[in-house]
Amino acid sequence: MTLITFLVSAIKFGMVLLFGSTGETITEKSGHLNLGLPGIMCVGTACGCIAEAIFFDLVGGRRGMENLAFLAVLIPILATLIGGALMGLIFSFLTVTLHANQNVTGLAMTTLGVGISDFLIASVDGYKFTAGAKFFNTSLPFADDLGAFGKLFFSYGIMIYLSIAVAIATSLVLNRTKVGLHLRAVGENPATADAAGINVTKYRYVATCTGSAIAGLGGLMFVMDYLNGNWEYVIDAIGWLCVALVIFTTWKPVFGIFCSIVFGAFYVAAEYIPGISLASKEIFKMLPFLVTIIVLIMISVKNKKENQPPASLGQSYFREER
C-alpha cells in the first residue's frame, strides 16, 4: 500500500508541475524564454487564494461556501488565470513592445512576483482560503470502492484531471491546428512567420499570457490541493522545477504527463524511504535537475531537429532591422 500512496503522492505533485511546464511550453513555443515563471506562479497562486478569501467573506464563512462548492473552486481558478495572465502581459510588454532582454526581464519578474505574492498573502487571513481546500480535494465518490485501482486513478481533486486535460488539449492545438502551426512558426523563425502574414506580436503576447495563466494554476493546486490550503513559501522553487521540466519533456506537453510524474516521484521519494537523514532527503529533491541536465546532454548529442528547443527561443524580433 505504501507504493500506492507513494505513486498517488508523486502523481499529485507531478500534476502541479505539469501545469507549470505546459504553461511554459506554450510560452516557449512562441520564442519567449520566460524565466519569470516562478514569480508568475507565485502571483497567480496568491490571486487565487485572495479571491477565495474574499469569496469566504462574501458568502458568510464556511457554511456559505458549502452551498456554493462549485464557485468555491471556480472563483480561485479564474482569479489565478487572471493574475498569471497579467504577469504574462507585463513580461510581453517589456520584451515585445519595449524590446527588453528576455532573460533579464524574466529574472526580474521572478523577484517581483515572489515579492508581490508575499505581500498579498501576508495581508489576508490564511484560514479564509484554507477553508476552500476541501472543495479542491473532493474526489469522485466511488474512488474508495475500487481499491488500489480507484486510489491510483480516481482519488484526486478536480485540478489533477484539469492539468492532464490542459496538457492534452495544448498538444492537440500545437500539432493539429492552424493556430498551433502558426505559434510554432513564430517560435522557430519569427521573420518567416512575419513574412507569411502572421502577427508575431499578437502570437507572442497571447501565448505568453495564456502560458502564464495556466502555469499559475500549478501553484494554486499546490497550495489548495497538495498542501490542503496551507501557504508555503516554496512556490518559486516549484517554478524553477517547471522550467527544468519543459526541457525534460523536449517541449511536448503530452510526453510531459509522464515526465512530470517522474519528477514528482523524485521529489517525494525521500518521504517514503524509511530511516533517511534530513540531508539525504534534499539530495532526492536535486534529482530532477540532474535528470534535466542529462536530458539536455542527450538531446544535444542526438541532435535530432524535432527534439530541439524552438530555434528562436530567447530572441526578440524586430521587423525593420536588417
Partner 1 sequence: MNTVALELKNISKKFGDKYANKNVSLTLHHGEILAILGENGSGKTSMVNMVAGIYYPDEGEIFVDGNPAVITSPKDAFGYKIGMIHQHFKLVDVFSASENIVLGIKEPGKFKLSEVDKRVAEITQKYGFQLNPQKKIHEMSVSEKQTVEIVKVLYRGADILILDEPTAVLTPQEIEKLFEILRRMRDDGKSIIIITHKMNEVLSLSDRVAVMRKGEHIATVETKNTNEKELTEMMMGEKVELNIERSEPKNLVDRLVIENICSKNEEGLPVLNNVSFTARGGEILGIAGIAGSGQRELLESIAGLLPLESGSIIFNRPKKGLPVSFYHKSFTEVLALAEQGKFHYEDGTPVSFDGMHHAQIRELVNEGKILFNEDDVTNLRDKTPLEIRELGVRLAFVPEDRLGMGLVGNMDIVDNVMLRSYRRGKSVFLDRDNPHDLAMHLIKELNIVTPDEHTPVRKLSGGNIQKVLVGREIAAAPSVFMAAYPVRGLDINASYGIYNMLNKQKEQGVAVIFVGEDLDVLIELCDRIVVIASGEITGIVDARSTTKEEIGLLMTKNRLEGGSENE
Give me the residues that bind partner 1 (CB under 8 A), please: 176-178, 181-182, 184-185, 188-189, 191-199, 305-306, 308, 311, 319-320, 322
In the complex with partner 1, the residue whose CB is nearer, 200 or 241, is 200
In the complex with partner 1, the residue whose CB is nearer, 211 or 309, is 309
Write down the least CB distance from residue 173 to partner 1, Å: 11
Phi and psi (nearest 5°) for 249? -80, 0
Write down the least CB distance from residue 32 to partner 1, Å: 17
In the complex with partner 1, the residue whose CB is nearer, 191 or 286, is 191
Determine the residue type at 196: A
In the complex with partner 1, the residue whose CB is nearer, 14 or 310, is 310
Write down the least CB distance from residue 305 to partner 1, Å: 5
In the complex with partner 1, the residue whose CB is nearer, 71 or 181, is 181
Q: What is the DSSP letter of 305?
A: G
Q: Is 228 left (phi over 0), alpha (psi -120 to 50) or beta?
A: left
Write down the least CB distance from residue 212 to partner 1, Å: 25
Q: How far apart are CA 215 and CA 283, in angstroms?
A: 26
Q: Is 310 left (phi over 0), alpha (psi -120 to 50) or beta?
A: beta
Q: Mind giving me the DSSP string for 265-290? A: HHHHHGGGSTT--HHHHHHHHHHHHH
Write down the least CB distance from residue 295 to partner 1, Å: 19
Write down the least CB distance from residue 172 to partner 1, Å: 12
Q: How far apart are CA 208 and CA 31, in angstroms?
A: 9
In the complex with partner 1, the residue whose CB is nearer, 10 or 185, is 185
Closest CA to 261 of 282, 291, 235, 237: 291
Report CA torsion sign: 92, 93, 97, 103. negative
Write down the least CB distance from residue 105 to partner 1, Å: 20
- Burial class from Cβ neighbours inside 10 Å (0-12, 13-18, 19+) for residue 4 reads middle
Determine the residue type at 290: L
In the complex with partner 1, the residue whose CB is nearer, 145 or 320, is 320
